[in-house]
Amino acid sequence: MTVKLVVLYTQPDDPDAFDEHYLGVHGPLVEQIPGVLRWEGARFVEAADQGETTYHRVAEIWFEDMETLESALATDEGKATARDYGKIAPPGSRMFIAQVD
Amino acid sequence: MTVKLVVLYTQPDDPDAFDEHYLGVHGPLVEQIPGVLRWEGARFVEAADQGETTYHRVAEIWFEDMETLESALATDEGKATARDYGKIAPPGSRMFIAQVD
């Protein structure tokens, strides 16, 4: 059953500097993680419910199943990506695992 | 440029009853919206950051561009889906528009 890691980044102090690192450094790290089926990043442009623009970005990384996801995060490439996440994620950013319908 | 509507549902009182309606009624409404490239629903199973399991579900609906998304939401099918969202979304649920990288 397909699962995905869903990451929600809150608003950084400098969104453009964040995106430069995100697209130039973080994305390439994600691409090196073994077992990744595909991944997608997106930048929020609007709160469609007229609420707060709580998050700056969402990223999703799809894996074949939970075992593959867990193994992937335990690899050197997974750990390097997690370290970079720790460096860039603004306070309040979140990371979840979801089972795709 | 591909855009997507990203919906985050907070925890419902009865997750299984929520999912029954979500998969049986809400999903089919989404599928009738004109201009939808694809959509994906997923149920959160874990907070990978050891934080709160703030959300129960995430749904994404992809469109070719912002104009198509806006037109889609203004159709009868888009409005029917929004009405159903209003009925089922637990308080604190969020809806955003994001530009895919």
pLDDT in tens, A7-44: 999 999 999 999 999 999 999 999 999 999 999 999 99
The nearest alpha carbon in chain A to B47 belongs to: A96
pLDDT value of residue A40? 98
The nearest alpha carbon in chain B to A86 belongs to: B49
Partner-chain contact B96 A44, CB within 8 Å: yes
> Which of A85, A100, A101 is best to mutate for the B interface (most B CBs within 10 A)?
A101
CB nearest to B99's CB, from A42, A51, A97: A42
Q: Which residues of chain B, if any, have pLDDT below 50?
A: none
ipTM associated with this complex: 0.95
Spell out which residues of chain A touch residue B6, defining contact as CB-CB under 8 Å: 42, 44, 58
| pLDDT tens figures, A58-98 | 999 999 999 999 999 999 999 999 999 999 999 999 999 99
Three-state DSSP state, A45: strand
Can you tell me the distance from the alpha carbon of B12 to that of B34, in angstroms, rounded to the nearest whole number?
A: 28
- Which stretch of DSSP H or E encloses residue B18? helix B15-21
What's the sign of the alpha-carbon dihedral A20, B6, A51, B64?
Answer: positive
Partner-chain contact B48 A23, CB within 8 Å: no
pLDDT value of residue B86? 96
